Structures are given as C-alpha cells and as structure tokens.
Amino acid sequence: MKTLYMAGLALLGLATTAAAESAISVADARAFETAPTAMAGGGFLAITNTGTSDDTLVAVLADFPRVELHTTEFENDVARMIHLDAIPIPAGETVALEPGGMHVMFMGLQGNPLTEGETINATLVFEQAGDVPVTFEIVKRDMAGHGHSHNH
C-alpha cells in the first residue's frame, strides 16, 4: 500500500507541474505614436516562453474598437499586412514582434491618435498561460523600421 500511495503522490506532483509549465514573460512593449488621421497603430514586444511546453498567443485585449495580430509581407518592396489568428510561442524561445514583421494592431483610432509619452494597458491572452497583462509605452516612430518619418 505504501508504494501505491507514493506513486499517487508522484502523479499528483506531475499534474501540478504540468499546469504550471507555461510561463510567459514580456519585454520591450512599445507602440508608435500616430498621425491625428491614422486609423490604426502598431504595438511591438518580445514574448519569452520560459516554460517547458509550447504556448500560443491567441488574442490581445485593449480599449480599442478592434485589436488584431498582424504580420507583414513585402511584395516588390510594398508592405502588406496579413491578419494572423494566433502566434505560436515555442517552449524556451523568445518571439519578437518587430517593425516590418509581426505586430499588434490597435484599430479604430478615428481621431484618438496614439500620443508619445502615453501608455496602452492591454492583456495578452495565451492558450496555456491565460491572461498576461502588459503596458505598451507610446514612443516616437522607430527610424530603423520601415516607417517613413515626416518630422523633419
């Protein structure tokens, strides 16, 4: 009986570990300021899965009419944004959402531009890790990106 009891405990231990295996950390969350007439703005961040099981980013919630996950494709140097249903975050890896690539799209800005110095409170929704809060800092447009600045 004692052996069975120990085996039961071990199983219980495994189950508990499995539930806590996905661990998500985020860094460098930022969004670019937008022109007053802009309809949408991009959000960028690095997502690290420090756990031992794969996870998937399935949604981003924020106070905008619509928030989507996008990636960018270049065709003859013309950028085109593609809607993504989800972004896989493999165990032990960091996935970077960067200008010119994948990004969070805050949509429906109509007259409420993203303003430098302000922040966007959002919630990342993961299949395994659940809700992960994140704050995007709104910064000036990254000159190294594919955007073209008109600040001169």
Under the binding rule (CB under 5 A), the answer on residue 105 touching Cu ion is: yes
In the complex with Cu ion, which residue's Cβ is closer, 11 or 146?
146
Instruction: Count the alpha carbons within 13 Å of 138 in the hemisphere toward its beta carbon.
Output: 15
Instruction: Compute the least distance from the CB of residue 102 to Cu ion, in Å.
Output: 9
Residue indicated by tokens 């949509």: 107
Under the binding rule (CB under 5 A), the answer on residue 107 touching Cu ion is: no
Under the binding rule (CB under 5 A), the answer on residue 102 touching Cu ion is: no
Instruction: Compute the least distance from the CB of residue 84 to Cu ion, in Å.
Output: 10
In the complex with Cu ion, which residue's Cβ is closer, 50 or 146?
146
String marking each residue 40-79 x if it binds Cu ion according to CB under 5 A:
------------------------------x---------
Contacts of 76 (CB under 8 A, 6+ apart): none
Closest-by-Cβ residue to Cu ion is: 70
Site residues for Cu ion per CB under 5 A? 70, 81, 105
